[in-house]
Amino acid sequence: MEFLIRKDTPVIPHQKHWQFCVGSGHALLALRTDYTRQLKFIHDTLGIQRVRFHGIFDDDMRTINDLSDLFPIPGGEQFKEYNFNACGVAYDNVLEAGMKPFVELSFMPKKLMNREEGRPKEGMFFYKPIVVPPEEDAAWKEYIQAFLRFLIHRYGIEEIRTWSFEVWNEPDLPVAFFNGTREEYFHLYEVTARAIKEIDDQIPVGGPSTSGSKWVKSFLRFCEEHQVPVDFVSTHQYAGDPLGGVEDQGDPKNDEEAGKDEIGNAMRETMMRQAQTMGEIKEKTLLHGFRHFMPDKSETTEIPNDVFIQNSAVVRQQAGDKPLYYTEWNENAGFSSYTNDTRKVAAYDVKTALDVAGNVDGSSIWCFSDIFEELHPFPEEFHGGFGMLTQSGIPKPVYHAMKMLADAGDQRLDLGQEATLGEIGIAAFQQPESTQVLLFRQKMKNLDLPKEKAVVCLELDAKPGKVTLRRVDEDHGNPLKLWEAMGCPVSLNRQEVEKLKRDSAVTEEAWPFTYENGLLKIEAELGVNDVYFFQIEK
């Protein structure tokens, strides 16, 4: 593969939309010191400005209490309090890290939940969130407004106006996040948005925060027809989402029911099939059992690498002139997948960040750290978590790849859409005293294929002073390989953590080049999902 970059190539802004926000686990984790340290590291080194997490209203945050919680006495429920102090500590920690919260208003406090018989109340996750609508709109409105008054008193109205308030998380997924209909979510959004705007009409609020780029068209239609305030549109997209394509192309109710059936049937089929063969697993750790029960389908099925690209283009049109935020995205929707710790995620995230730049106003990679317990807090340092960092803060390949994008110049050379569409993709950037060239060989499966040669020719007025390379490959930026060589210890002490960080660090190395007749030539051989970042200095 050979690329030619001419010196008259037009320049466009390098839209680092992924610096807008990053995802993390649920709110209780934001009270931990290790969480705050890692969050500050992500902000300081990658330039990410906000963080989003679930469950600010989960019962482990103790936001609403009554006397019967302390003493089981008749009539104790009449004596109640709102207590948002833990929320304040979580947000204090975010601000201390140099970031702002992207506030996800979820989930439902048990004392406010819909108590309809037969409706499952808890989500499937480790921390058991309550995932039903409120019993009474008036009580929910009072609660939301009390929360906002607390925030305004603590931080000031000018600060709160710089935050974004997103109503719920993935209400289209009934097993996990919302046991209610689409219409019930739209109603919940309406009540919540109006409650916020009654406090201050300059506080940004939006949704629908759906999975798979869904519900945007019908959500905005509902808001327009009912004159419900909406300041931004949010949705999510993973390459491995169970449903492909953007919904709202037909009847909304039919779309909703079809989606539920497909998700439910796929999950039941997988679980039944995998459960029948659990006895075949030799290693009986919880992690091995979980991985067998919930396999990495990105390695077993043919998943396209352009789902986010295609869907975000459609949603961009649906959103119109409203800001469009993809508040969750990544390569793999499967927690604990082995490949989450490999450079497969690095190559996908780099390619996708570049490809969707024209469609989104801000995005949020899921997520920054393996300090995370959506399904289980696995003790293994490398357990296939979603994080860019392990739970001890060891940078994974995806961190190093996004650091390359963070360090790239603010001007991007417009090489055309085809530059990133092939198996080996290229992007180039400019700074006043340097040019950067990014090469990546992206595939949706980790395959043991021969290396592919890539040649980059760059027209320059003068011979460069030096060319250096940072790379993510089998032997660079790959702490998983080093951990496995250690025998996969379940836990690591501080010295072992620091050694893994040092030994897997991505550093600059001098790289050979030729310069003849105004043409710089660089050659490299890329393995599957390698990422190479060349710095060409004047």
Tell me, what's the pLDDT at 248? 54
Phi then psi for 134, rounded to 5 degrees? -75, 155
Q: What is the pLDDT along the chain (538 residues), one digit of tens a residue?
A: 899 999 999 999 999 999 999 999 999 999 999 999 999 999 999 999 999 999 999 999 999 998 888 888 888 888 899 999 999 999 999 999 999 999 999 999 999 999 998 888 988 888 889 999 999 999 999 999 999 999 999 999 999 999 999 999 999 998 889 999 999 999 999 999 999 999 999 999 999 999 999 999 999 999 999 999 999 999 999 997 755 457 554 334 445 444 444 545 555 565 566 666 766 667 778 888 888 777 888 888 888 999 999 999 999 999 999 999 999 999 988 888 999 999 999 999 999 999 999 999 999 999 999 999 888 889 999 999 999 999 999 999 999 999 999 999 999 999 998 899 889 999 999 998 899 999 999 999 999 999 999 999 999 999 999 999 999 999 999 999 999 999 999 999 999 999 999 999 999 999 999 999 999 999 999 999 999 999 999 8
Residue 329 in domain: yes
Tell me, what's the pLDDT at 266? 56
CA distance 498 to 130: 39
Residue 45 in domain: yes
CA distance 315 to 218: 11
Q: Of 483, 409, 514, 456, whose CA–CA distance to 13 is shortest?
A: 409
Tell me, what's the pLDDT at 507? 96
First-to-last alpha carbon distance for the chain, in angstroms, is 26
Residue 424 in domain: no
Tell me, what's the pLDDT at 250? 39
Residue 476 in domain: no
Q: What is the CATH number of the domain that holds 121?
A: 3.20.20.80
The answer to whether residues 182 and 209 touch, using CB atoms and an 8 Å cutoff, is no
CA distance 399 to 393: 11
Residue 272 burial (10 A CB sphere; 0-12, 13-18, 19+): exposed
Predicted TM-score (pTM) of the model is: 0.94
Other Cβ atoms less than 10 A from the Cβ of 32: the count is: 14
Residue 274 in domain: no
Q: Of 415, 323, 350, 338, whose CA–CA distance to 382 is shortest?
A: 338
The answer to whether residues 224 and 218 touch, using CB atoms and an 8 Å cutoff, is no
Tell me, what's the pLDDT at 288? 83
Count of the separate structural domains present in the chain: 1
Tell me, what's the pLDDT at 270? 59
**How many Cα atoms sit within 13 Å of 37 on the Cβ side?**
10
- The token pair at 135 is 């019993």
Residues spanned by the domain of 166: 11-254+304-407
Tell me, what's the pLDDT at 262? 52
**How many Cα atoms sit within 13 Å of 339 on the Cβ side?**
24
Residue 15 in domain: yes
Tell me, what's the pLDDT at 247? 58
Residue 334 in domain: yes
Residue 121 in domain: yes
CA distance 215 to 249: 10
